Amino acid sequence: MDNISLLDKLEKQLLEKQEFVSLISSYTEKDAEYAAEKARAIAQSIYGKSVYIRGLIEVSNYCKNDCYYCGIRRSNLKCERYRLTKEDILECCEHGSQLGLHTFVLQGGEDLHYTCGEICDIVSSIKKLHPDCCVTLSIGEKSFEEYKAYREAGADRYLLRHETANEWHYSKLHPESMSLKNRMNCLLQLKELGYQTGAGMMIGTPFQTAEHLAEDMLYLGTLKPHMVGIGPFIPHKDTPFAKEKSGDVDLTVFLLSLSRIMLPHALIPATTALGTASGTGRERGILAGANVVMPNLSPMSVRKKYMLYDGKISTGSESADALKDLAKRMESIGYHIDLSRGDHADYKQ
């Protein structure tokens, strides 16, 4: 089957692994444009030309894990560590709320300092002060009981990228202490608890093949997450992957389109990594079917410390001006920023 027919097939049903492999390894510029057009049309039929805005608060860069690709890994002794207090986080939310935002994403390394009770307290305080806002957590692998407690405290969504769906590849990116099985198990638990759940992967990590990406697509097709985060791998100078090359922007954009075609209702960000790898990356992402942007709401004093990869951009919603700038960028490609909660279309409150 040719690539155009495969893209048409993907719109109706899940492709088989070999079909994904062939699409991913042999797509042309024309195929990518066809996929982007299709993906855009699907996104617009469900969400219109809205680009949902999430305020990202990077709560801590302490991490117990040692992922080989990540700049805030435990072994990176050059990373200057910080942790926001509850008051800091509430201040960020207040600021975001004044700008009109309705989703706060609390992201951090797996920092053992915060107890479950503290996280619940932070979540419930945000919900109390901003009852019409959504709280998204992105703080890694926890126990079912912890996920349950956060949910009961009011957390609405959870982001946990699976990173790669292939066991062997997973073991090349992570130390032995981490397992893909556990990560996938966490994702199932999050869904079961009623979180709008996000999975996803990096494109172009060391050792990644078209087969691995095909497995990522199959995994996303079966898990059916509400959100899909896909960005290019970008090396960080103080990690074991310092000398590796960055992921390909075109391939990243193509996979965004495939994800949109496969999961029409998904909320798909044009990621910061995509915006870092290419100055027009986020616009390209939206034009390929993405419909979310996550500007940075973290305090200015900690922005440079949350360096997951080299050169990470920090265009934020730190000021009304920065948000206006983002709005202008989206308008320049025929879209508009949407400050509402932006729930998944299937989600009933």
Binding string, 190-229, against ligand 5AD, x = CB under 6 A? ------------x---------------------------
Taking contact as CB under 6 A, which single stretch among the options 93-101, 190-198, 232-240, 326-334 is the one that binds ligand 5AD? 232-240
Block residue for tokens 């909660």: 341
Pick between residue 70 and residue 253 the one whose CB is nearest to ligand 5AD.
70
Pick between residue 65 and residue 340 the one whose CB is nearest to ligand 5AD.
65
Q: How far is the CB of 46 from ligand 5AD (least distance, A)?
A: 25
Taking contact as CB under 6 A, which single stretch among the options 27-35, 231-239, 298-306, 330-338 is the one that binds ligand 5AD? 231-239
Q: Which of residues 110-139 bind ligand 5AD (CB under 6 A)?
A: none
Pick between residue 188 and residue 242 the one whose CB is nearest to ligand 5AD.
242
Binding string, 149-188, against ligand 5AD, x = CB under 6 A? ------------x-x-------------------------
Q: Which of residues 295-324 bind ligand 5AD (CB under 6 A)?
A: 308-309
Q: How far is the CB of 246 from ligand 5AD (least distance, A)?
A: 8
Binding string, 66-95, against ligand 5AD, x = CB under 6 A? ---xx-------------------------
Cβ atoms within 10 Å of 81's Cβ, excluding its own: 14
Q: Could you give the C-alpha distances from 76 to 13, 70, 233, in angstroms and in order?
A: 44, 9, 18
Pick between residue 50 and residue 138 the one whose CB is nearest to ligand 5AD.
138
Q: Which of residues 237-276 bind ligand 5AD (CB under 6 A)?
A: 273
Taking contact as CB under 6 A, which single stretch among the options 117-125, 233-241, 257-265, 280-288 is the one that binds ligand 5AD? 233-241
123, 234, 294, 307: residue in contact with ligand 5AD (rule CB under 6 A) = 234
Q: What is the 3-state secondary structure (H, E, C) of the chain?
A: CCHHHHHHHHHHCCCCHHHHHHHHHHCCHHHHHHHHHHHHHHHHHHHCCEEEECEEEEEECCCCCCCCCCCCCCCCCCCCCCECCHHHHHHHHHHHHHCCCCEEEEEECCCCCCCHHHHHHHHHHHHHHCCCCEEEEECCCCCHHHHHHHHHHCCCEEECCCECCCHHHHHHHCCCCCCHHHHHHHHHHHHHCCCEEEEEEEECCCCCCHHHHHHHHHHHHHHCCCEEEEEECCCCCCCCCCCCCCCCHHHHHHHHHHHHHHCCCCECECCHHHHHHCCCHHHHHHHCCCCEECCECCCHHHHCCCCCCCCCCCCECCCHHHHHHHHHHHHCCCCEEECCCCCCCCCCC
Pick between residue 234 and residue 258 the one whose CB is nearest to ligand 5AD.
234
In angstroms, the CA 61 to CA 119 distance is 15
Q: How far is the CB of 25 from ligand 5AD (least distance, A)?
A: 22
127, 236, 284, 329: residue in contact with ligand 5AD (rule CB under 6 A) = 236
Q: How many residues bind ligand 5AD (CB under 6 A)?
A: 12
Give 107's strand partners: 58, 138
Contact criterion met (CB below 8 Å) for 40 and 31: no
Task: Rule CB under 6 A: say whether 337 interacts with ligand 5AD.
Answer: no
Q: How far is the CB of 227 from ligand 5AD (least distance, A)?
A: 12
Alpha carbon 233 to chain centroid distance? 13
Binding string, 1-30, against ligand 5AD, x = CB under 6 A? ------------------------------
Task: Give contact residues for ligand 5AD (rule: CB under 6 A).
Answer: 69-70, 161, 163, 202, 231, 233-234, 236, 273, 308-309
